[in-house]
Structure 1
């Protein structure tokens, strides 16, 4: 009897289980009693009435879906309004909205390079950047994490079009990229700089305008930003920001723009409301950073090892993958949801808990989170 064509899936499932790497979907109830330090709602906007009404109002006016790709019927007046306000807020000439931050990264990397190009990618970059490099068909060199000199040496050895890509804030450890050093290396070699500001928008820069704004690089020649609308803005989707000619080029060449259904109007309306709230309440950015700094200070004061946060992510090291999984589970039992990162998701091999600092956390919630993490911490 012939084997099933999917028998190999069973074999892989067994290997994952033996390695303790099985992932499980866990639906989140609407009335969960868990204190959430696992999601990316940095500013606490996703349930703000202004944001939820922005989503509902857009759905009532424009319908439940975009109905088609952006170039056919998927662009509404709201899409254009969000793009104009995003570009203005972040300090860029133009913006283009995508269905996710993932597709935005794929678009930027595939449309701004070709087979003869070189992409220089930081070793700590997000999976969407890694996949964008692969799909671009450009030659890709992965350089050591956060080392401008490694970028410079790689560019020295290349004669032709080049692009350097990096996260602004790295999602696992929460450390910030040395953007000034990367930009200088790019200027010296005439290379473009693409920065994924998913974890910087809303947290870094004047009033949360992002890491590139903080570094004085917003709107600079040769600089492109990608970002997500699903973190600080409390919605869904992504965007690419840069010179108008770059945006026009993406409209005409980026496959994840041309062939993908446009972002649903409800998500556009929610993101627009979130952006306007951030304009109205610029103190939210500083509050998120302050909460992260306090979590780091209090946890390390008790002997835990944690990376000093540059934005709103606090990474706390665990002694082993098994200990990290148990620690996260014990935190959940204690009423606290935290992220758990372990190999192979972390290339450095260090397992850790990932905590999200939120601007809306109260004093009691911060105290409860610290107490739960310390009480459940692995011993030995």
Structure 2
């Protein structure tokens, strides 16, 4: 047998033996609170569709109308012939929404992070990242060619010491809301430190935009920070906005630099114009319907209070990401499967997505949930907590 084939089979057996095997579910319904997965009707508590916009009729209508106008595919990269009027309008609206001079669309959040970091730093420079950053930020730092350093999660003293040892241009990179823990980066202190050390700061606010802040401006609005405090803002559109794609926002010079140097922007096909028009519709809803954020806060508080009452160990998260820390991967998988049998979908998050010994259930709440559904989840968790 071929060596590669043998190695692949042995690796898969080892992954399964550790309780870390991953499987895809086949979804046969629109994204939402009610989901048809593998032929079963489930209540969904693992989506990032925080505001319930992925299946909103206005967003769908905008997508259909734009497909009739522009067709489906964009045909090429932005710098060839793929940059439509829909793309351009969305960039201008996102820049205004975020309080930035300009914004630049990328086809995915992963590509935005890889492209932005590699355009800003390279050989002889230093990129310094929070240890719990998303994989796309970690990979962006590693692939940039810069000296790559990580600091302990949200540890300002460790970050300060790491910065003191940095050489060349210095770029601090952090998530705004950490996707597996749900906590917020201490951005005001990091921004002050970056300015004092002549470093730039890149914040990926994938899980904060649309959710945090009175107007949905994300973690920067939550903290009252602007472009001067955080020069590089990355946002994704497939979470609270309910569509697809991502963007980098900042100064005119930053965006021009991305256009000239970000390989993941230059050398890939632009996302479909219909997706851009759908996102413009979702952005209008994000701005106009603050009740979605208000409801999400109430549901989050209700879940946290109920979880505390039944003795579950939650993490200190003010966001709709509410992890239940279990530690053992097999326990996390078993509890997830038991909830599935009860008609509730909650993902088990295990290494290497999270550090060893910190497996968890990642409960995510949506403005589309109702209190009765949150209570049902809590009742099932209470019934099954012996598995934890």
Query: What interval of TM-score do these two structures reach, taking the shorter chain for normalisation?
Result: over 0.9
Distance 2:178 2:2 in 1: 44
Kept in 2, the 8 Å contact 1:292–1:309? The answer is no
Residue by residue, what CA displacement relative to the aligned partner does 1:178-204 show, whole Å, maximum 9, x if unpaired? Answer: 001110110001100000000000111
Kept in 2: contact 1:38–1:339 (CA 8 A): yes
Cα deviation per residue 1:121-153 (whole Å; 9 max; x = unaligned)? Answer: 000100000110111010011000001222122
1:62-77 matches, within 5 Å, as: 62-77=70-85
* Structure 1 CA distance for aligned equivalents of residues 91 and 246 of structure 2: 11
My pick for the range that moved more, 188-197 or 355-364, is: 355-364
TM-aligned CA deviation for residue 227 of structure 1: 1.1
Contact in 2 for aligned 1:323/1:378 (Cα 8 Å): no
Please give the per-residue CA displacement for 1:233-290, whole angstroms capped at 9, x wherever unaligned.
0001011011111011000110000001101122212211111101111232232232
Cα deviation, 1:349-371, whole Å, max 9, x if unaligned, reads 21110011111211222222221
Q: Is the 2:203–2:234 contact (alpha carbons within 8 Å) kept by the matching residues of 1?
A: yes
Native 8 Å contact 2:124 2:167 kept in 1: no
Q: How big is each residue's C-alpha offset from its partner over 1:7-58, in whole Å with a ceiling of 9 and x where there is no partner?
A: 3211211211222221111111216221111010000011110111122122
How far residue 319 of structure 1 moved from its aligned partner, in angstroms, is 4.8
Matches within 5 A, 1:48-127: 48-127=56-135
Corresponding residue SS for 1:96: strand
- Root-mean-square deviation (CA), in Å? 1.5
Aligned pair count?
379
Aligned residue number for residue 7 of structure 1 = 6
What is the aligned partner in structure 2 of residue 151 from structure 1?
159
Mapped partners of 1:221, 1:327: distance in 2 = 42
Q: 1:343 and 2:351 equivalent?
A: yes
Q: Of 155, 166, 175, which residue of structure 2 is paired with 1:167?
A: 175
- Report the alpha carbon displacement of residue 6 of structure 1 after superposing the two structures with TM: 2.9
Q: How far off is 1:5 after superposition?
A: 4.3
Contact 1:125/1:167 (8 A) holds in 2: yes
Q: In structure 2, what is the Cα distance between the partners aligned to 1:5 and 1:320?
A: 30
Q: 1:337 to 1:159 in 2, by over 3 A?
A: same
Paired residue for 1:259, among 250, 267, 279? 267
8 A contact 2:172–2:199 mirrored in 1: yes
Match of 2:374 among 352, 360, 366: 366
Segment drifting more, 259-268 vs 183-192: 259-268
Tell me how far apart the structure 2 counterparts of residues 286 and 121 of structure 1 sit (CA, whole Å): 32
Q: Aligned with 1:163: secondary structure?
A: strand
CA contact (8 A) 2:328 2:357 kept: no
User: Is 1:212 aligned to residue 211 of structure 2?
Assistant: no
Aligned to 2:22: 23
- Unaligned residue ranges in structure 1 (runs of 5+): none
Compute the displacement of 1:224 (Å).
0.7
In the alignment, which residue of structure 2 is the partner of 1:311? 319
**Higher mean C-alpha deviation, range 128-137 or range 284-293:** 284-293
For residues 150 and 266 of structure 1, the distance between their equivalents in structure 2, rounded to whole angstroms, comes to 45
Mapped pair 1:224 → 2:223: no
Q: 2-side partners of 1:232 and 1:363: how far apart? A: 20
**1:328: which partner in 2?**
336
TM-score, normalised relative to structure 1: 0.96
Unaligned runs of 5+ in 2: 30-34
1:42-89 deviation per Cα after TM superposition (whole angstroms, max 9, x unaligned) = 000111101111221221111111111111121110111111111111
Q: Is the 8 A contact 2:231 2:250 kept in 1?
A: yes
- Alpha-carbon distance, 1:4 to partner: 5.6
Partner of 1:295 in structure 2?
303
Deviation, 1:310, is 2.0
Alpha-carbon distance in structure 2 between the residues aligned to 1:253 and 1:175:
32
Distance 2:228 2:182 in 1: 25
Distance 2:296 2:347 in 1: 17
Change (3 A) 1:34 1:150: same
Quickly say closer, same or farther: Cα 1:6–1:215, change in 2 above 3 A: same
